[in-house]
Chains A and B, each alone.
Chain A
Amino acid sequence: EVQLVETGGGLVQPGSSLKLSCATSGFTFSITWMNWVRQAPGKGLEWVALIKDKYGNYEANYAESVKGRFTISRDDSKSRVYLQMNTLRDQDTATYYCTRGIMGNFDYWGQGVMVTVSS
């Protein structure tokens, strides 16, 4: 059974950092592209970041809104994907979802983790 479980969310102050983790199981993680998608309270979905697999040279892409502040990474030995979030802003407040898939075809999603940026 495919599972994705996000952890690491919480309440942080503007300007601070937070690292999200997504533990996965039930599929061959090392050959799977992974993504983060977020949803601000009461708002729509926003794609955040992508990291390709080893055959894609682990290339990463980012939404313009997070470029230069967020870093996506992965540990194939642990079947985990991470999202390092720096210089957090109020507008980054959202539920963050980990999802697997290629070219926008995201077939499995985690349950989401809440990040609240507030002073």
Chain B
Amino acid sequence: DIQMTQSPASLSASLEEVVTITCQASLDIGNWLAWYQQKPGKSPQFLIFGATSLADGVPSRFSGSRSGTQYSLKISRLQVEDLGIYYCLQGYSAPYTFGAGTKLELK
């Protein structure tokens, strides 16, 4: 199975700060990488697909990038509504695998 190593596990940041979360795939998954945001007590929300494409309605301060088998999610100016847990997911081959998650909190 493909392993997704996500870091950091938690992150404290200030409003308007730039935030970056990364996922490392255990093998080449191409651009089959998606990012999700989950707020407490809520279902996950689709943020980014194809490693770099924003899902419908997602603010432009979110962006995704890829360098080889490392994938990054960047929030350019953190807003209070961005707080929550972020997960990457590889969809290259089943079984699909999520990263362990990054909890984003306010400093």
Query: Residue B87 at the A interface, CB < 8 A?
Result: yes
Query: Residue B44 at the A interface, CB < 8 A?
Result: yes
User: Closest residue to B55 on the A side, CB-wise?
Assistant: A107
Alpha-carbon separation in the docked complex, A62 to B1 (Å): 12
Interface SS of A by simple majority = strand
Chain A interface size, under 10 / 10 to 19 / 20 to 34 / 35 or more: 20 to 34
- Say which residue of A45, A103, A108, A110 sits within 8 Å of B91 (CB atoms): A103
Q: Are A44 and B101 touching (Cβ within 8 A)?
A: yes
- Determine how close the nearest CB of chain B comes to the CB of A118; give it in whole angstroms: 21
- Say which residue of B44, B91, B94, B97 sits within 8 Å of A109 (CB atoms): B44
* Pair count A-B, CB < 8 A: 65
Alpha-carbon separation in the docked complex, A27 to B96 (Å): 24
- Say which residue of A61, A102, A108 sits within 8 Å of B95 (CB atoms): A61
Among the interface residues A37, A62, A110, which one has the most CB atoms of the partner chain B within 10 A? Answer: A37
- Knowing A45-B101, A61-B95, A63-B95, the reply to whether A97 touches B43 (Cβ < 8 A) is yes
Q: Are A61 and B94 touching (Cβ within 8 A)?
A: yes
- Say which residue of A35, A50, A61, A104 sits within 8 Å of B32 (CB atoms): A104
Q: Are A47 and B96 touching (Cβ within 8 A)?
A: yes
Q: Are A64 and B87 touching (Cβ within 8 A)?
A: no
Q: Are A111 and B43 touching (Cβ within 8 A)?
A: yes
- Determine how close the nearest CB of chain A comes to the CB of B24; give it in whole angstroms: 16
- Say which residue of B34, B46, B95, B101 sits within 8 Å of A64 (CB atoms): B95
Among the interface residues B32, B44, B56, B101, which one has the most CB atoms of the partner chain A within 10 A? Answer: B44
| Chain B residues, Cβ within 8 Å of A106 | 34, 36, 44, 46, 89
- Say which residue of A44, A50, A107, A112 sits within 8 Å of B96 (CB atoms): A50
Known: A44-B100, A45-B36, A109-B45. 13 other contacts (CB 8 A): A37-B44, A45-B98, A45-B101, A47-B97, A47-B98, A50-B96, A102-B91, A104-B32, A105-B50, A106-B46, A109-B43, A110-B43, A112-B43
7 closest A-B pairs by beta carbon, nearest first, are A104-B91, A61-B94, A103-B91, A109-B43, A47-B96, A105-B49, A44-B101
